[in-house]
Structure 1
């Protein structure tokens, strides 16, 4: 008897050994890292395995910056990383090329982190450094990458250099940290600034970039740590070309502050001609309203801002007329402190309070006062409210009259209040305010102001906030140095720092029916 045993083969894949977790290793560099008296136009760096470059444009940082970027390969994969200079290198200068996290091995994408190649066209490597911290002037955080720039203060230096010329040295803070260190710098005096740029070109564009600066020369060598707050400047005033929006409305858009803007018509107008100017809600635009309409191909205006006067012409077209429309700005749920605000689409000229009524849930009439807010172009109703109550606002026909004589139709709006136990309160006591004017603000997790209170100089340093919805809040103090009741930003050319903003060290969790007492110690 013959027995035959057959063992069937099983299909499978070879395991290939353990997963590669080791980043690429440099075998040699030509010339070697930290070379002096560099005279070539090319650097070659050899690795022990195939590499690729990932997000090189986001990671690469060359200091000092070059006007013409070098050519860096490989484009796909290679064991050779080559840097070909397309710009003339400066004499007696130390250069650093930081590849960030762009170098990876080709197979497993293991990153060779923060590799920096340094060389000098002179006889030695500059080794001085500048270090410091960055924060946003408003929220104290750094959300996006920030460039740290160092400009040497030579004989021909001027402040305007930051608008048109690249710095002598540069480094970048990623959005995950707020500390910086500039290295390989030579001895000298410098201007230190920080830029959060829309375009990474290392020049300050005031319309789009945030800036921070140190208001003193940086003299190297130094062991000092420099702190900078970045902020958005108020742009210089510019006036856009006016635009006809409707039959009797021309919009003048602008940038900057328009407090002293004066608009007057030069064209000949009818005897009964009248005008009114309103500001658009949350927009940098003024609406110039006029009546009556009259037959003209164009209108000419004189526009004065401070001492500057411009003459502007706008062609007039046949457009629709604006109609009076009334909408509520509040939601239907209001607190006991809220006023009821109505936005109007045309300038509001008068209110007839006798044609308005507020009643509660028992249909009992509620006493109120109605006023026109010229600044907001809105109608505001003030009345005492009670908790767990509903209110009906009836606006009868012809209660509102606008600039053109238009009147409203019948309107009705409903509002309600919640029980006070659904809200919480926060009482903030300040220490070490030292008779300075301050604005105490309660902000939400989006850094939006929920409530605020002004504490004048010499007043008792405390602020009480009520009717706060249960949530997590931050408390911050604005040091109102010019006593105008708002936070003021800074300006580089005038060397004006933004007003200081200080945050309470911990987030506050407020629950329904809670009353919190917080002591804010200013250092």
Structure 2
């Protein structure tokens, strides 16, 4: 081989090696930056120290173990007692400096509640709850108050709202001063107030719309204890097992990064005034109670939040849509019909000059005008009295006088064969009608019930027309029962709807397992306007008795002083039917389609037939109860269910499988999802990429919350170790999954 050929071959080989090397590098996965820091910042030093007494300095300096940031401090940080001039909070790398602008009050315990306001600078890990406390006097107040806030109507926990206490007595009309001590509820609606001075209090929860830390407007949601209570500390041994269980279940999760041990021990004698106690827990009583023989009371307060009806009803428009009708549109459904008075022209000022027709959703109302030759040319002057609400949702009545102009004249389009719609109904003398328009039969509909009574003996059959129905020719309406497909005529009764003038009810007794046919002939209906109704026919099938079931509920230990209503609910909390118990406490629902149902009741204390929330300060919300589980109804069977009124604690009554998808003004904020742990995914990626070669260092293991290498070695020797980051297979046994949770799952 010549020298030139050898050089050329070397170049080719070198080029191929470079290409293969580049391809090989391209196939390698990009390196990762190691495990993720999922740990929130830790407090390493406070000046003055946590729990200090006789403090005179107005500046607090808190140092953390990493760089921090303060998110929305003005919204999340709570200063107790409330400050006339809000303190200034500044972050300087790892330090948080709080400077009080007001003078400090003598002999007072001060707390700063950081409610998810502090997080690390890079990863955004929050400190869930951190409370810093100091005192300007000789002792630190150490009492605690624990409770839970539930929505009064749905019994759902109310998360992330203000909860606090007021010293007695309460103001008569509104809470015109801020709370004495306050905090926020957690995702489960629980709250714990720390560093409370021993005394008598009312507890209150509040959706504080104006950040006044007080209830001062009727559009604010609130809950308040019916009676005052006194703080106290009692030996744990004095509690019954049930009370001790409540203590464990009604405490908020502790921030273990900031929690400090309770200085109470079996040798300590707690002072009722807090003077001899230096309790410095920064978050919650869970840790302290678990090691202390003493329990802070009350620890089981239950506050029921009343949400005001915030539907703002407004009249969107009252317009003359054509010469024959007016339409009023509202922003929300209306409960009462408005009053329309026609002031001009004179021929429409009689009581029968119009016919109202409310839509099914209750948001729009059509006024059909009595026919007259001059309607197309004359404007209308009307006085319209309608229900509305003020800026905070309180109902008021509004009266407007307005002029509705005559509709514009429509002229036929030149050289066009298209039919131009000109009016709701064609009148021979109406100049707005397009000449030459074809008169067609007006459609008629036959509708039935769409709720729980559909295809039962309580089903309804309605005849619906496009305009108000004045009369129905019974010789042109035929009802028959089909027996072996042969119609047998039946008698019936026609009843006009009191609100919807465009439909009439065909009332007749129905038998289970039967099929009925209703036939409406041409021109059977006489409407407000001279037009012919179209023919229509429909069959209605009633389910057989063996296709339906029934439900009988026996209530026990329920209050009998006021009426009580029981709701049958769907899984979306839609009210399907309502009944009242008899003198023996029996509530019955019959002709039910097979399926699962839920039960809810309320006590109508004021006897108005609807549920009412609380009124500050004296009236609590009307009691609401749920059967804690669903009830299954089967065809052909009568299901019996016993229901003890208070057989289950109120906080545990709402069924977990009740969706509550249909929300109204009583509903609550959804509970926040748990934060995703990125280290679980990181460990799985490393395991898939490197297999058994992946062996993180002890430092990385500590970050991820994994056992050290030595602990792993010992676990392997015992035979109970699961590979780090390994995904469980379909045939993984329960024991293997347990080991995986203990060894391989990142927390």
Going from structure 1 to structure 2, the CA distance change for 1:217 and 1:113 (only over 3 Å counts) comes to: closer
Asked if 1:251 is matched to 2:251, the reply is: no
Aligned to 1:47: 64
Aligned to 2:383: 300
Asked if 1:34 is matched to 2:51, the reply is: yes
In the TM superposition, what whole-angstrom CA distance separates every residue of 1:394-430 from its partner, at most 9, and x where no partner exists? 3334444455676643334454445544443211122
1:316 offset after TM fit, Å?
A: 1.3
Aligned to 1:170: 182
1:173 offset after TM fit, Å?
A: 1.9
How far apart are the structure 2 equivalents of 1:196 and 1:325? 51
Aligned to 1:336: 457
Aligned to 2:191: 180
| 8 Å contact from structure 2 (residues 345, 381) kept in 1 | no
Return the structure number with greater relative CO, CA threshold 8 A, min gap 6. Answer: 2
Going from structure 1 to structure 2, the CA distance change for 1:42 and 1:471 (only over 3 Å counts) comes to: farther
Match of 2:550, SS state, is: strand
Aligned to 2:633: 510
> What does 1:56-71 align with in structure 2 at a 5 Å threshold?
60-64=77-81
| 8 Å contact from structure 2 (residues 45, 63) kept in 1 | yes
Asked if 1:373 is matched to 2:497, the reply is: yes
How far apart are the structure 2 equivalents of 1:277 and 1:426? 40
Aligned to 1:477: 601
1:230 offset after TM fit, Å?
A: 2.1
Question: TM-score, normalised on structure 1?
Answer: 0.76
Q: Which ranges of structure 2 fall in alignment gaps of 5 or more residues?
A: 1-20, 234-296, 389-395, 408-421, 426-441, 647-747
Aligned to 1:430: 555
Aligned to 2:270: none
1:338 offset after TM fit, Å?
A: 1.8
Match of 2:566, SS state, is: strand
Greater share of helix residues, 1 or 2? 2
How far apart are the structure 2 equivalents of 1:15 and 1:286? 64
**Which stretch shows the higher mean deviation, 310-319 or 33-42?**
33-42
Aligned to 2:306: 231
> What does 1:102-121 align with in structure 2 at a 5 Å threshold?
102-106=117-121, 111-120=126-135
**Which stretch shows the higher mean deviation, 41-50 or 143-152?**
143-152
| 8 Å contact from structure 2 (residues 523, 533) kept in 1 | yes
| 8 Å contact from structure 1 (residues 137, 230) kept in 2 | yes
In the TM superposition, what whole-angstrom CA distance separates every residue of 1:97-154 from its partner, at most 9, and x where no partner exists? 3323454445665554322122345665433443333322322222554432444557
> What does 1:97-496 align with in structure 2 at a 5 Å threshold?
97-106=112-121, 111-120=126-135, 124-142=139-157, 144-152=159-167, 157-161=171-175, 166-174=178-186, 176-186=187-197, 190-196=201-207, 202=213, 209-217=220-228, 223-224=297-298, 225-233=300-308, 243-244=318-319, 246-247=321-322, 248-249=325-326, 251=328, 263=339, 265=341, 267-271=343-347, 273=350, 274-277=353-356, 279-283=358-362, 290-291=369-370, 293=375, 295-296=378-379, 298-301=381-384, 311-318=399-406, 328=447, 330-331=449-450, 334-341=455-462, 347-359=468-480, 362-365=485-488, 367=490, 368-375=492-499, 378-386=503-511, 390-402=515-527, 408-433=533-558, 435=560, 437-455=563-581, 459-484=583-608, 486-493=609-616, 495-496=618-619
Match of 1:497, SS state, is: coil
**Which stretch shows the higher mean deviation, 465-474 or 437-446?**
465-474
How far apart are the structure 1 equivalents of 2:121 and 2:448? 58
Could you say which structure has the larger radius of gyration?
2
| 8 Å contact from structure 2 (residues 443, 534) kept in 1 | no
Instruction: Report how many aligned residue pairs link the two structures.
Output: 503
How far apart are the structure 2 equivalents of 1:301 and 1:79? 65
Match of 2:66, SS state, is: strand
Going from structure 1 to structure 2, the CA distance change for 1:415 and 1:283 (only over 3 Å counts) comes to: same
| 8 Å contact from structure 2 (residues 448, 459) kept in 1 | no
In the TM superposition, what whole-angstrom CA distance separates every residue of 1:66-125 from its partner, at most 9, and x where no partner exists? 576655455xx932234455x646635544333234544456655543221223456654
Q: Which ranges of structure 1 fall in alignment gaps of 5 or more residues?
A: 1-7
How far apart are the structure 2 equivalents of 1:476 and 1:276? 39
Going from structure 1 to structure 2, the CA distance change for 1:497 and 1:289 (only over 3 Å counts) comes to: farther
| 8 Å contact from structure 2 (residues 566, 600) kept in 1 | yes
1:431 offset after TM fit, Å?
A: 2.6
How far apart are the structure 2 equivalents of 1:130 and 1:311? 51
1:452 offset after TM fit, Å?
A: 2.0
1:518 offset after TM fit, Å?
A: 0.9
Question: TM-score, normalised on structure 2?
Answer: 0.56
In the TM superposition, what whole-angstrom CA distance separates every residue of 1:311-343 from its partner, at most 9, and x where no partner exists? 422231345866787663645963333223466
How far apart are the structure 1 equivalents of 2:537 and 2:354? 31
1:462 offset after TM fit, Å?
A: 1.4
1:345 offset after TM fit, Å?
A: 6.2
1:438 offset after TM fit, Å?
A: 2.3
Match of 2:343, SS state, is: coil
| 8 Å contact from structure 2 (residues 449, 461) kept in 1 | yes
Going from structure 1 to structure 2, the CA distance change for 1:53 and 1:506 (only over 3 Å counts) comes to: same
How far apart are the structure 2 equivalents of 1:153 and 1:36? 26
| 8 Å contact from structure 1 (residues 149, 193) kept in 2 | yes
1:35 offset after TM fit, Å?
A: 4.0
Going from structure 1 to structure 2, the CA distance change for 1:22 and 1:232 (only over 3 Å counts) comes to: closer
| 8 Å contact from structure 2 (residues 564, 603) kept in 1 | yes
